[in-house]
A and B are shown apart, each in its own frame.
Chain A
Amino acid sequence: MPAAFDEMTGTGTLASGSARQPYGGLADWIAAQPLEALQRKRTDAESVFRRTGITFAVYGDPKSAERLIPFDIIPRIIAANEWRRLSTGIEQRVRALNAFMHDIYHRQEILKAGRIPEELIINNSAFVPEMLGVNPALGIYSHIIGIDLVRTSENEFYVLEDNTRTPSGVSYMLENRETMMQLFPELFAANRVAPVDTYPEDLLKTLVSVAPSNLDDDPVIAVLTPGLYNSAYYEHSFLADQMGAELVEAYDLVVLDGALQMKTTQGLRRVDVLYRRVDDDYLDPLVFRPDSLLGVPGLFDVYRAGRVTIVNAPGAGIADDKAIYSYIPQIIEFYLGQQPILKNVPTYNCRNASDLTYVLEHMAELVVKEVHGSGGYGMLVGPAATKAEVEAFRDKVKANPNNYIAQPTLALSTCPTLVDGGLAPRHLDLRPFVLIGDKVRLTPGGLTRVALREGSLVVNSSQGGGTKDTWILQD
């Protein structure tokens, strides 16, 4: 694997003292800080997070029901011109993704044109046939999308995946900034950092813009959470709070008189827009999981009748399926007639015999992922795995090739990160959050995740990843 591109020093090193232009001010400031001062600030940051209760749960770890995501105080910086290019590419991508979903749940032109194999959609568990012919407000399926980007050189960014179902992490983008501004006001005075705190307002505007059109009064917005013990509960309550929306669980809701209603201290009240942070399966047991008691019976009928908007729409997962991912360049071209601005990582679909042969032969060099996996679970990073791990994974892929894709291991960019011995480069990715309603709204920022273990390329918080504040500089 080639040496990684460092976002602060380029191809130089920290010691050589040369910083890339956007990092110039920060590098000078760091040089003037004694290590102990930085470490003290790190401890301060942790206590802020703990007191505020910004925690997440790790599945399968009963010992610690709530943990902090490690926060690194060295920010990650993106120049204004870099961000402009990314924004244009992101906007292009989310428009194409929504056009794709509308087509898949209506005329399916792209299948008829033979641009995507039909069985990839029809046999896909993320495809929801009940959505066929449904017309969501403004024709939008995925209103909130998190695009995972990685950088590999001065000018190369790749989209690693699109999160079109219920992307999480935006509360960290906001709280990381809040914490940084408390700890380092002098840095914000010296650098022109674009604010991110417009996100909740933009989210609210987006949700209001897709409310059912026949309302007499302001739409009632509710955030649907699986509850207190969900790993992202903090974020659900944070967003509801920031928007002044209700935070509801399924059993607070009931369908009556053809409307979605919530049970309040004054009886039932109508809900117009449901920003759900639960999976499709837990929306309506009558439609999605007949065996389950979870969800709101009858919700889907109200939705289909256009009397409530569900955000993101059921079935939106079809656009972020890892097997669909490799077709995104064709999807952009098909619906928008444009060349993709952001690059896709070359992807091997193990369902194709020739791809499978290649993957099995080169497994030790590749990143292999489950088609429906997420959170860094069920994946193999070939170059970092032991021989035994590679062999074990090879058996899994052989047993069920349709379930896997593989990609070359990218040399993810690094950024200096405060570790025990001082500053050291660690690999990063970036998840900007984009909102799609009456228009596309993109907050200048995102969630930067950092792999804290030396050399590791897995940035997920469930796998020992941390986060950084992300600065988009203004001209």
Chain B
Amino acid sequence: MLGRTANDLFWLARSVERAENMARLTEVGYRIMMLPQAADNPHQEWRSTLASAGCTDLYFAKYDNVETKHVVNFLLFDPDNPSSVYSCLANARRNARAQRIAITRDMWESMNSAWIDFAGFNPDTLSVNELPRVLDWVKQRSALYRGAMLNTILRNDTYCFSQLGTFLERGDNTARILDVKYYVLLPSIGLVGTPVDNEQWAAILRSVTAHRSYRWVYKENYRPANIAEFLILNPQMPRSLRYCYSEITGALTDLGHIYGETHACHTDSTVTANNLARLSVDEIFAMGLHEFLLEFTSCNAKLAAEVSSAYNFTG
């Protein structure tokens, strides 16, 4: 496989995952805006949404103040925002078109029709009430694409690079949501072990579609420590950092078998995966949640660079 093909497959998967995450983040912001508490400080939630999405600076370079209409447009439709749903889908579709001979017909057609249909949304006339419909659409299209991928693709290097893109992006997203939202919501670190009854806590879980599965696992009200444990360490939760790394090491192991050689990315991903399997949530809080997540995202970014260089993504 060409290095460029591997690069495009990686970013195709990564962009689809990011489009879906942007839709989830926007959904959470939208829900919290409707809560009674939001009336006191309507913009706080959008600020944390922008921070979770990693595009605060870019937003304020364009707008002076936080306004629902602007934020929604910025996160969903703005071509100047490289992480907007629009930009992610454009990028995903570009990569799919460049590699249509490496992906299956089902994958191509689901991606191409998503791109064609997305043009049907008009950001100028879209009312806030219609937002849930748009966000659902994005999630459905991402699920459709990923379903087409999982159901039709050979379990060869094409699959491995797609999995790497998906789970490196997902791990990064979960870590950022946790980092930003946690400190916005936790009034004092002393409260980390006590139960809280706050719809906003549900929002963290909701943004990774884990509000119901949390209850299946913990069978009690939200506790900040449990939420952190669930999203970082739970091996069954498909958006937890630990789960992402089991998929990442799995894909890299497969690549090692297919190509008959291993690289720095194999060693480093195994170290991260082992850490996540070994640590307890208490140990994480002892070293500082923020410091832990910062370390994680930097390892995650380093791993992406190592994968790129090991497999000649840029020639």
Question: Which residues does A use to contact B, with CB under 8 Å?
Answer: 50-53, 227-228, 233, 237, 240-241, 246-249, 251-252, 262-267
Complex Cα distance, B171 from A177, in Å, reads 46
List the A side residues contacting B112 at CB < 8 Å.
51-53
A52 touches B109 (CB 8 A): yes
Closest Cβ of chain A to B257, distance in Å, is 13
Closest Cβ of chain B to A252, distance in Å, is 5
Closest to A266 in B: B259
Show 9 residue pairs from A and B whose CB-CB distance is below 8 angstroms, ordered by the A residue. Answer: A52-B109, A227-B98, A228-B94, A241-B101, A251-B4, A252-B4, A263-B3, A263-B315, A264-B2
Q: A53-B112, A228-B98, A249-B4 are in contact. List 7 more A-B contacts (CB 8 A).
A: A53-B100, A53-B108, A241-B100, A247-B101, A264-B2, A265-B311, A267-B312
B2 touches A53 (CB 8 A): no
Closest Cβ of chain B to A262, distance in Å, is 6
List the A side residues contacting B4 at CB < 8 Å.
249, 251-252, 263
Complex Cα distance, B157 from A241, in Å, reads 17
Question: Which residues does B use to contact A, with CB under 8 Å?
Answer: 1-6, 94, 97-98, 100-101, 108-109, 112-113, 116, 157, 259, 261, 311-312, 315
Closest to A223 in B: B101
Closest 10 CB pairs of A and B: A241-B101, A265-B311, A263-B315, A265-B6, A265-B1, A263-B3, A53-B112, A237-B101, A228-B98, A252-B2
Contacts A265-B6, A266-B259 given: A50-B116 contact, CB under 8 Å? yes
Interface of A is mostly: mixed
Contacts A51-B113, A265-B157, A265-B259 given: A237-B2 contact, CB under 8 Å? no
Closest to A244 in B: B101
Complex Cα distance, B100 from A240, in Å, reads 10
Query: In the complex, which of the residues B1, B100, B113, B315 contacts A237, with contact meaning CB atoms closer than 8 Å?
Result: B100
B94 touches A265 (CB 8 A): no
B94 touches A262 (CB 8 A): no
B315 touches A252 (CB 8 A): yes
Most buried by A among B94, B100, B101, B259: B101
A51 touches B97 (CB 8 A): no
List the A side residues contacting B6 at CB < 8 Å.
265
A265 touches B116 (CB 8 A): no
Complex Cα distance, B7 from A252, in Å, reads 12
Closest to B101 in A: A241
Complex Cα distance, B3 from A251, in Å, reads 11
List the A side residues contacting B157 at CB < 8 Å.
265
Complex Cα distance, B5 from A50, in Å, reads 24
B108 touches A264 (CB 8 A): no
Closest Cβ of chain A to B249, distance in Å, is 18
List the B side residues contacting A50 at CB < 8 Å.
116
